[in-house]
Structure 1
Amino acid sequence: MTPSGKVFLVSGVTDMRKSIDGLSLIVAEQLEMDPFSEAWFIFCNRGRDKLKILFWDTNGFWLYYRRLEKGTFKWPRPSPDGVITLSKPQLHWLLSGLSLENSHGHHPLKGLEV
């Protein structure tokens, strides 16, 4: 699946024992955002080798879980408001183990002709 709304990275460390209810409470109470929106919320553990993605879809929550067997996610420093907005390319970079400031990504091409 791909996100239909915004993608928010919850900066800092999250207890990965939390499930849908606990993570949605973090979104609602700490971030003061709506967990029932079309947004994706991404959480990471202290070791940076596990992450969870929470989002609402029509009539229920999805909770994706990813664990790296080797290496870590390139997680950014915590932000003052606790959340960082990601673009869809940045989401793919993060899930692929790349930095969000990836300078090697391809730029969109415009005005091409055959």
Structure 2
Amino acid sequence: MFNDATGFKRIFIACGYTDLRRGIDGLAATIKNDFHMDPYEQGNIFLFCGRRTDRMKALVYEGDVAYKRLANGRFQWPRNEVEVKAITTQQYRWLMDGLAIEQKKTIKKVTPSMI
């Protein structure tokens, strides 16, 4: 579920800190009350991270909360905002790989040239 973002229509990341002791109802209430969004909309995933950046929770409307924990390293989670932010599938992959979602520069693809 976490490694592939193709099944999601929209991906949202809750910037800042979230108390990961909260369950499904608590996270849904945060989405509804703080972000003024519908947590039960099909195809959306909402990502939350606590102060320890080696764990995160995701809320997807299938009646579940998913949980991911990194054995080594930390998620590069945006902490400067207290809002929800839409991210692309590429940014989602970067996040799952432990990279920052805002890359300073990208590496251009190199194609071999025929000499």
Name the aligned partner's letter for residue 17 of structure 1: R
Of residues 14, 17, 21 in structure 2, which corresponds to 1:17?
21
Deviations 1:59-108 (A, max 9, x none): x323110111221100113325x11110011011101101112334677x
In structure 1, the gaps of 5 or more residues are 108-114
Of residues 23, 31, 36 in structure 2, which corresponds to 1:32?
36
Aligned length: 103
In structure 2, the gaps of 5 or more residues are 110-115
What is residue 89 of structure 2 aligned with on the other side? 88
Deviation at 1:51, TM superposition (A): 0.3
Rounded Cα–Cα distance in structure 1 between residues aligned with 2:107 and 2:24: 33
8 Å CA contact 2:57, 2:65 repeated in 1: yes
What is residue 100 of structure 1 aligned with on the other side? 101
SS of equivalent to 1:41: strand
TM-score scaled by length of structure 1: 0.80
Matches within 5 A, 1:69-88: 69-79=71-81, 82-88=83-89
TM-score scaled by length of structure 2: 0.79
Report the aligned-residue RMSD: 1.8
Deviations 1:26-58 (A, max 9, x none): 0011111000113110000101111011011xx
What is residue 51 of structure 1 aligned with on the other side? 56
Rounded Cα–Cα distance in structure 2 between residues aligned with 1:21 and 1:63: 10
